[in-house]
Chain A
């Protein structure tokens, strides 16, 4: 399997946030991860992206173990993520935010920055063009030189996605990308995610917007209290009585 999570457990003191969770994600698909608040979705993302070392189990990506690696190495192996609460680099422009992630793959290091400024300027040009391309893809190119945090909320979400794509990920982890978006923005996001999948990027999506999740996910996994309670296509999930009770039922009350 492209991305394989095996028997993952994450424990914080006495609290078991994720309990024996397993999941296989196929290349080029959009994998949904849903469940009530506190069911362990973001924890799984934090383990995947190297913030936490799992208490048990392992994660392999293209056959190589990535669990327990520091996050810059997880990123280097092809993972990128966005965050539930927006965390853009405050005093940087939209373009600079995207360039940060891109720069880490650069071949030229500090020494060549000093001794070979020409190679650097070519590279900078290349990165600049590539970053602008990503901004166009996300339809925020006109704001390239604006301070990222001065943009409206919906646009900042897109900057986060562009920044994540800047690291050239094979797998993109999106943590509630539709949170706080209105109907139109959410529809735009849907189109953008489909375009990103077209680029060959595998997407893992944690999201509460059911319309979005049901509409674009190839497979959906449902979590409750840190455990997997169901898995399948959107139509299978929508019919599953266990899911309806644990998740959709609760959604109606809230």
Chain B
């Protein structure tokens, strides 16, 4: 294997992991944009979504083994419905100071993490990929089939989200209520309902990320902590509140991680990725796509 194909392989791996970070970063950014809420329970919501899908696939519910695509859809929908419930819980927090938001959402995250320890036990389990585990070899570049699935499905979800926000009337209403909730509600938009939908979409995307990641990572109730933090860093890197920013931030973060693991040392992966984030923010505090400032009234 030559250097070029190793590099390409590393970048593809980074894009794969990065798409997962992007899906999670979208949840942070969309909720911040529409409710002004920094939701630190999002990592736990990602974990919950993973279980909501994988439990059907991995035989945790009455020994059922439903096909992976069906488990995926069930997980995304269940977590979406869970997001609607979360809006009701988080609504009072969105009006408070950042300190209360942090405490409230971190607390909610702990409750979810421990609730799942009680239900499913603290020890995790490995999930087998629905696709063959033999890597595909294309022009000397070896790629895991699951990684291609991750990249493909994430790309479809992100394009679908953009089309939904830009083209549909509900998408327009969501954008409007994020931009100016008073005016949106004067235009007849039900702002609380839009917030619920935002949390539903953010949670659904987090579930999608978790169910796609499950065959690559180890599923357990503590899995949300590290990924949640990286997704948040990715959202900040791209510019918190910006949708293209969340996608760009996630991909950049993933590729950085993969390159530093491949070329420097996997022991320093996180350190290096976070250092880059800090440096970028020192140069451009609003993030990469941060020219759109989010104003809250």
Contact = CB atoms under 8 A, between A and B. Distances in A.
B170 A103 contact: yes
A99 B166 CA distance: 12
Given A110-B197, A113-B170, A89 B175 contact: yes
Chain A's interface size range is: 35 or more
A105 B188 contact: yes
Contact of B188 (A76, A89, A96, A124): A76
The residue among A49, A89, A96, A163 with the most chain B CB atoms within 10 A of its own CB is: A89
A25 B116 CA distance: 60
Contacts of A72: 185, 188-191
Interface stretch (B48-56, B176-184, B207-215, B225-233): B176-184
A70 interface: yes
A167 B183 CA distance: 12
A106 B176 CA distance: 16
Contacts of A87: 180, 182-183
A103 B167 CA distance: 12
Given A87-B180, A91-B179, A100 B185 contact: no
Contacts of B173: 100, 103-104
Interface in A202-244: none
A53 to B, nearest CB: 14
B172 interface: yes
A59 to B, nearest CB: 16
B169 A99 contact: yes
B48 to A, nearest CB: 22
Nearest to B174: A100
Contacts of B292: 91
A83 interface: yes
B186 A99 contact: no
Nearest to A90: B179
Contacts of A123: 169
A2 interface: no
A108 to B, nearest CB: 8
B186 A75 contact: yes
A81 interface: yes
B4 interface: no
Nearest to B182: A51
Contacts of A100: 172-173, 176, 184, 187, 189
B2 interface: no
A89 B183 contact: yes
A71 B180 contact: no
A178 to B, nearest CB: 20
B259 to A, nearest CB: 33
Interface string A57-96: 0000000000000111001100011010001011110001
B224 to A, nearest CB: 27
B3 interface: no
Contacts of A181: none
A49 B186 contact: yes
Given A49-B186, A71-B185, A80-B186, A89 B180 contact: yes
A113 B168 contact: yes
Contacts of A71: 182, 185-186
A75 B187 contact: yes
A120 interface: yes
A165 to B, nearest CB: 11
A101 interface: yes
Contact of B169 (A51, A89, A103, A163): A103
Contacts of B186: 49-51, 71, 75, 80-81
The residue among B179, B187, B197 with the most chain A CB atoms within 10 A of its own CB is: B187
A167 B188 contact: yes
Contacts of B188: 72, 75-76, 101, 104-105, 167
A247 interface: no
A103 B180 CA distance: 16
B122 to A, nearest CB: 38
B190 A127 contact: no
A167 B9 CA distance: 53
Contacts of B187: 75, 80, 100-101, 104, 163, 166-167
A117 B167 CA distance: 12
A70 B191 CA distance: 11
Contacts of A83: 183
A166 B173 CA distance: 13
The residue among A72, A80, A91, A166 with the most chain B CB atoms within 10 A of its own CB is: A72
The residue among B168, B190, B191 with the most chain A CB atoms within 10 A of its own CB is: B168
22 contacts: A70-B185, A72-B190, A75-B188, A80-B186, A80-B187, A83-B183, A87-B182, A89-B184, A91-B292, A92-B176, A92-B179, A99-B172, A101-B187, A101-B188, A103-B170, A103-B172, A104-B187, A110-B170, A110-B197, A120-B168, A127-B169, A166-B187
Given A100-B176, A110-B170, A167-B188, 4 more contacts: A50-B185, A75-B188, A87-B183, A103-B170
The 10 closest A-B pairs by CB, nearest first: A103-B169, A104-B188, A75-B188, A101-B187, A100-B176, A71-B185, A89-B179, A72-B185, A87-B183, A72-B190
